[in-house]
Structures are given as structure tokens and as C-alpha cells.
Amino acid sequence: MGDEIPSDLTLDSLWLKIKNIENVTLRAAYLMGPYVLYADVRSNDYHHDQRLFVSADQPQFESNIQPQQDFIAELSLHNLKKRYVWVVDVASQILFTRQASINFAITVGGSKESIHTDNATNPRLGVQSPRLKVDRLTTADLWNTALLSKSVSVKRKEHLIVLTHGLHSNVTSDLFYLKEQIERTQSHHDELLVVKGFTENVCKTEKGIKWLGTRLAEHIVHNLRNEETVKISFIGHSLGGLVQSFAIAYISYNYPTFFENVEPVHFITLASPMLGTVSDNAVYIQRLLAMGIVGRTGQDLSLQSYNGLKQPLLQTLSKSSALKRILRCFRSRTLYANACNDGIVPLYTSALLFLDYDDVLDKLGMDTEDIETDFFQRNFVSPITKAMNILVPQRFSQNGTKIPVASMFDSAYSVLIPPLPAKSYITDPNTRKNVVVHDKMYTEKDLPDEQSPSQSGVMNSSNVLLRTFNLAFGGQYKNLEEQIARNWHEGIDWRKVIINLKPDAHNNIITRRRFSNAYGWPIVDHLIENHFSNEGNNTRTWKLDPILKTEDFDWIVKPTVDSVFDVGPTGMICTFGEMLGNLKSSTFEGINENLATTSYDQEELFKYEERLDGNGGILP
């Protein structure tokens, strides 16, 4: 009978092991990687809105699997049902090179002892039991789920959603959680949601906003858009907010009919330095940025002019008719900004300066003294932490502690990882506090008049949230940043969502990794609910304003001349890292430890090995 329980059925747990099988010497090879893996395992029906009462149902994860370390998880079979499904995610944590890859092995066994067999040359790779089925999805598979589900015989209109990563980051792994949550709303849309990003800017983010934005724009026009594309949305994290802004201006000027045929729907930034990062940096860090320690990108963010530009790029971009005529046509323009615990992008620049700071401070529910202590600790006591955050934003958390003496060339990443969420936070939604402290529409009318008393109140505010803006450089850049902020607001409404996340807020805001950055779940939920959950069939018309003929567009059309010096020292880290990666491939090949084999007949159910590349992807 089909429903009869087999006589040999057992409810003993299965065991999963994920091992980083790179040579142990690579733990110190920071520039070549770092060779670290993130992994998690969860049931197929898991969602973070569920309350989990049974410990066996709780997800398990490890964010820092170093070479020759492993992650072991118990897969419980505590309920009697026909089918158990688990999802295992494995992501590369490589930062500095696209050439390196991480070898790893996954083993599933019927006992904990069986998975301890560790032999890289074991010929018994594959599924050893008819009761177990394994579906392996590569990065390409995961990022093409919408297209794979597309019916060949039925053409469907498409809503293209472009995700753009920040400095020293990538799309495929760092923004995967966001992509996945957007796609879960497909049933609310008439159009097919196609969530994409541009992967060729990875390890090149120091080359300047113009260089990055030009490449993104050409990719959108020539590779992402097709005859079914009727809508487009942009979501940018950190530097990605500025890169997508330049890309829009570039498309608007060079392909003027693009946005006449494709409706601009949502423009969203998450912790993006829309005014640069001048005032939040210590003086010497600002000088280093201006001199190009982070290449052309650092010069852009420090509001410097170069290559014959008459003004800083951000100043020109913020007032360009090529950009603003498109921005006005978006259905929504939303800025998500961290009130504190960011350490890379301060509130005033991610919120376009003009904001009800007193309300934000009140809603934070913290004593001013506490915030001031954190503020001075972050910006004055340990400015080197700030510098390292700019260089490697994924690795350094702002928890007020001193960073170790070991340099970034060592295995500092092993101790400098983001504070992990408490177990109760992951398993019980009721323990999560509301992190949105301010959510309001701002129009040009909300801005104080120039030279007015209220304007003076902003520019000389004693509010601790504006302290960096008002103290730095004796006001040298304040007027320029204010003007850029006014440019962004001219004729454009902005929804400003201010949030209070725990460290590391800059990466938590996008949930860079599903569980280690779980403090960002409410923000992704807010973004999804307010932008992608209730669209329906609401067609509309839009009309583009003409581009001003009197405007000088050399900043867009003038070719960018590539130079090795464009990337600065941090960009050279990527280049040097690739050189070391190539050396590693030839030097360490075949020297992984070979451990003794043990036979477990039917106990060892499944084993395979893979390589993850520097872009977070699985190599064939």
C-alpha cells in the first residue's frame, strides 16, 4: 500500500558537513581572498516571520568557515512525513580578487561518525542512497530563476529590477537575499519580475562613479533590456546609489528614447553617500581620499574635481537635467538611511541633509549622552577604524572596540566579523523591535530658505546626529554639501526612511548574509512591502521633460581614460590579489591534506566537492 510505513523506516537524524578544503596556510592570505566561506541550512518552508518552538526546526549557520575548518549541522527527522526538504546556502567571502576560488566539500551521512571521513580523493562522490535527492543550483541558476520559469510559448511583459552593489562588494552574493525576497512577490504583479545586476564592476569599484555608471548603463541598454521590458526599477546599496544615478543620466542623454518606452517605477537607495563623505571623515582620511587612496571613487566622494571637470562630479550629477527629468517620472523615490551604527555613510549624506533630526533623535529612545559617547568613540577615539571601514566595509564592525594590531594583510577577518544576532531574534519575530524611527515624505517646500534662521539652525545645529557635518573642516565643505542636497530636492519629492539597526548597520541594511546580517530583515521587509507587494495592474502615463540644450554634458560624454593610478592603493590590492591568486593556483594545487578513509556502506549518503569564485559564484 502506498501509505504504509516501510518496515525499515528510521527517524534518526541525518548529519551535514560543509568543509573548506583549502590549504590551512591560506588562513593568512588575506589579499588572495580571504578564503572564508559562509554557510547556512534551513528547512524549505522556513521563513523569518515564523516563530519556531522546536529547536530541531531552527536554522543553523556559520559565517566564518576558514581553510580546513568545517560546519556540522544536524538535520532532524522528528516528524513523520513523506518528504523532508532542506536548503543549504554556501557563499564565498572573497573580497579582493575575481581570480581566486574556494574549494569546499559537502557530506551528508546517516550518523555523525560517517561524515568525519575526510578524503579529497574519495571516489565515492555522489548520492549513495535512493532515498536522497540532491538538486545543485549554481549562481547562474539562482540568478536566472525568473527566466527559467518563463514559458517558451507565452511572451510576458517584464519589470526589470536593477540591483547595484557598493564599494568592495558584489551583486551575486551580497544582494542575493534582497533579490530572493523581491521575487517572492511575483504573484502580486502582472509583469514578470526580472531581478538583475552587473557583475563586471566587481573588484573595480575604485575606478570612479562615472566609469562604473557608464558600464552599468551600457549593460542595461544592451544586455538586460529586451522587447518585453516595460518597467524598470533601481535599487542601490552604498556607492551603488550614486552609480545607478549616473547610469540613469547616461542612458537619458545617450539613449533618449529608452525611458519613453520603459516606465521608471522605483528609485531606491540604501545607506548611499548622496552628498559624498567629506564631513564624516577625520582630516587626514579626507586628505587620503582626495589624493586617491580609494582611486577616482575616493576623489568623487571627497568632492574633488579632476580630469578637467569644472565641478565635483556629485555636484554636477545632482543638478543635471539628464538625471532629474527621469527622477521626476519615477513612481517612488525612497532613501533608506542608518541613524547610527553605520560607521561608513553618515545619516546626513544618506538622507540628503534636510531632515527632522530632533524627531529622529527622540524616536531613537536613547540618551543624548549615550549617542554622544558612541559618536566621539567612533569618529575621534578610533579614526583608524573608520579608515579601515572605507577600505574594507564588509569586514569591520562599529562596536566601539579597538581593532587588533594585526594589519589588513593578516587574517584580521577572523576576529573582525559583525556581531551575530541572538538566537531568540532568529527564532521569535516577537523579540524584534521596530527599527524604523522616521518615515516621511519631503518636498522642496520642506527645505528652509537659504540665509533664513531655520537654515542657520540646520547648519549650526547642536543635534548630535549632525555633529560630524557641523564640526568637520571648520565648515569648508558645508556649503557645497548643502548645495548638492538642494539640487537633489529641486522639483523632486523624496521619501526618507530612517532606521536604527544594530552593528554592522551598513551591511545589515541589505542583509548581506541571510543569518549573520539578520538584523536587516525588517528593512528588506519594509522595502518589499512598500514597493513590490501591492502594485497590481495600475497603468499610467508619464512625460519626460526635455534635456536642457544649454547644459554642458562633457562630464557624461567625455571618454574616461583608463590608468593604473585610477584605482589607487586599494584597487591595486585587487590587482595584486589576482596575481597572488594565480600564484596560489600553481603553488598549492594538490597539497590539501589527505586523511585516512573509512567505509560506511549505506551510512554515507551523499558527498560532492565544489569551487566558489571571488564573485560569490559556483564555478563549473
As a whole number of angstroms, the longest Cα–Cα distance in the chain is: 85
The three-state (H, E, C) secondary structure of 112-139, written as one string? CCHHHCCCCCCCCCEECCCCCCCCCCCH
Q: How many CB atoms lie within 10 A of CB 286?
A: 24
DSSP E strand boundaries for 444-554: 494-499
Give the residue among 404, 414, 361 at the shortest CA–CA distance from 384. 404
Instruction: Check: CB of residue 108 under 8 Å from CB of residue 587.
Output: no
Active-site annotation holds for 238: yes
Catalytic residue among 238, 302, 397, 516: 238
The three-state (H, E, C) secondary structure of 239-264, written as one string? HHHHHHHHHHHHHHHHCCCHHHHCEE
In sequence order, the β-bridge partners of residue 338 are: 499
Give the residue among 310, 249, 206, 216 at the shortest CA–CA distance from 562. 206
402, burial (CB in 10 Å: exposed 0-12, middle 13-18, buried 19+): exposed
Rounded CA-CA distance 221/219 in Å is 6
Question: What are the cell numbers at 198?
Answer: 552587473
DSSP E strand boundaries for 343-460: 436-442
The three-state (H, E, C) secondary structure of 317-351, written as one string? HHHCHHHHHHHCCCCEEEEEEECCCCCCCCHHHHC
Rounded CA-CA distance 454/448 in Å is 6
Catalytic residue positions, numbered: 238
